Chains A and B, each alone.
Chain A
Amino acid sequence: MTSRIVAVLNQKGGVGKTTTTVNLAHALARMGKKITVIDFDPQSHLAVALGVVSKQQTGIDEIMLGHATFTQQQIPVRENLNLIVAGPRLQEIEQLRESGSHRGDLLRKALAPGTDDRDLIFIDCPPSSGILVANALFAAEELLVPMTSDYLALQGLSHLMGTIKKFEAVLNKKYRLQIVMSRYIPTRRLSKDVVSTLKKYFPQQILATPVRETAALAECPSFGKTVFEYRPGWRSAKDFEALAGDFLAGRMM
């Protein structure tokens, strides 16, 4: 079995990358899938959202630097759900400046061995488009792009698509790209217009269930809980359950 490696990315900040990673991953784990999530942001929000706060804990940083293995660095955080934290040296990697070396390839190499028993690996990317995101683009076969439904998000997506196409050209691969509508406000007319614009360019690539903006989702990271623990059965838990179903079945808008 080989695992699907999915980069959750959007260089725009605060669009819901971490929220999507945490809750989609937990939803899938609850369905019995074996999931590993990688906190690929030196801000470590993913770990915090899952209730892991140790600053000393090493993680993906040491794997990329060749000092640890994927298997060693996984922390079981929920049933079927493992976490690899960012680690204190991820920041350093982002600032690596030795020209000539293949700095873009560190994560891909780090993930090459030992990932086979996982169904899915999610990489929660930072809100930038620097070397870490390049590493994620090298390593992943699939991209999951959380999108808010406002105008500037479309602008940001245009930029992101330019970057993705360049990587596709150079790496000679074609990503499977899926968009998830996040922080969705159904009562706003602009939301619908953004979605219909997106549908034009991404037919059969927008996951069927939009995740709505709710207070519960904004609150749960501070308790280190996923929405299934913080507000089981509530609207947002149902959104993510449905989203996980869409993700597995390939159900699109």
Chain B
Amino acid sequence: MAEQEENSMIGYDPLAWMHEAEEEESPTRSAPLSAALPDDSAIFDDDMADAGVETEPGAALNAADLQPSADAETTGRIILEPLQNIQTVSQLHQQLRCMLDSCNKIDIDASAVSQIDTATLQLLLVLKLTAVKLRKEVNIDFPSEKFMEAADLLGVSEMLSVDQAVSGFF
């Protein structure tokens, strides 16, 4: 797909993902938690709502004119809570694991993060690396200043490919 015809002067086609992104028409998966936690999935469901697993990417942004996106159909989305620490990390781990099983692409909205610990950053890093192995995609979108600071401090912002272009605007 990324390769061009033989006599083209262009080898690897960096835009190929645009067509591939259109082709993957898998329906939205919010994490199917029952599979991971058969025993008390009902309780977990409530917790999950608190933790902000959403199919609407605009939900954590407070500008009134920000609306859910049209491509919410194809990807798993998760919105990080303001406080990410050792208390929340295992729950986040569960959610991400389920999403990784069921989605080809996970978008993580980090715009609301005001505090994030190393455990959570490590989790995100492992997620990112695992996703690469599974040929899946994980994006960390709109990271807040605090998120960026923490990632920079740990020296993982590059590995997390935290997108400078859309960081800190919200």
Chain A residues with CB under 8 Å of chain B are 11, 97, 99, 102-105, 129-131, 133-134, 151, 154-155, 157-159, 161-163, 165-172, 174, 189-190, 193-194, 196-198, 200-201
Q: Given A169-B71, A171-B66, A189-B9 in contact, is the A97-B145 Cβ separation under 8 Å?
A: yes
Q: Which residues of B contact A99 (CB under 8 A)?
A: 144-146, 168
Asked if B67 contacts A154 (CB within 8 A), the reply is: no
Which residues of B138-170 are within 8 A (CB) of A? 141-142, 144-146, 163-166, 168-170
A97 to B163, CA, bound (A): 17
Asked if A201 contacts B18 (CB within 8 A), the reply is: yes
Find the B residue at minimum CB distance from A129.
B165
Among B14, B58, B61, B165, the most chain A Cβ lie within 10 Å of the Cβ of: B165
Q: Which residues of B contact A155 (CB under 8 A)?
A: 14
Which residues of B44-63 are within 8 A (CB) of A? 57-58, 61, 63
A contacts with B: majority SS:
helix
A184 to chain B, nearest CB (A): 15
| Size of B's binding interface in residues, CB under 8 A | 34
A151 to B15, CA, bound (A): 11
Asked if B145 contacts A154 (CB within 8 A), the reply is: no
Q: Which residues of A contact B4 (CB under 8 A)?
A: 193, 197
B169 to chain A, nearest CB (A): 4
Q: Given A163-B163, A193-B10 in contact, is the A172-B169 Cβ separation under 8 Å?
A: no
Q: Which residues of B contact A189 (CB under 8 A)?
A: 9
A189 to chain B, nearest CB (A): 6
Asked if A151 contacts B170 (CB within 8 A), the reply is: no
A168 to B165, CA, bound (A): 14
Q: Which residues of A contact B67 (CB under 8 A)?
A: 171-172
4 closest Cβ pairs, A-B complex:
A172-B67, A169-B69, A129-B165, A104-B169
Q: Which residues of A contact B65 (CB under 8 A)?
A: 171
Find the A residue at minimum CB distance from B18.
A201
Q: Which residues of A contact B19 (CB under 8 A)?
A: 200-201
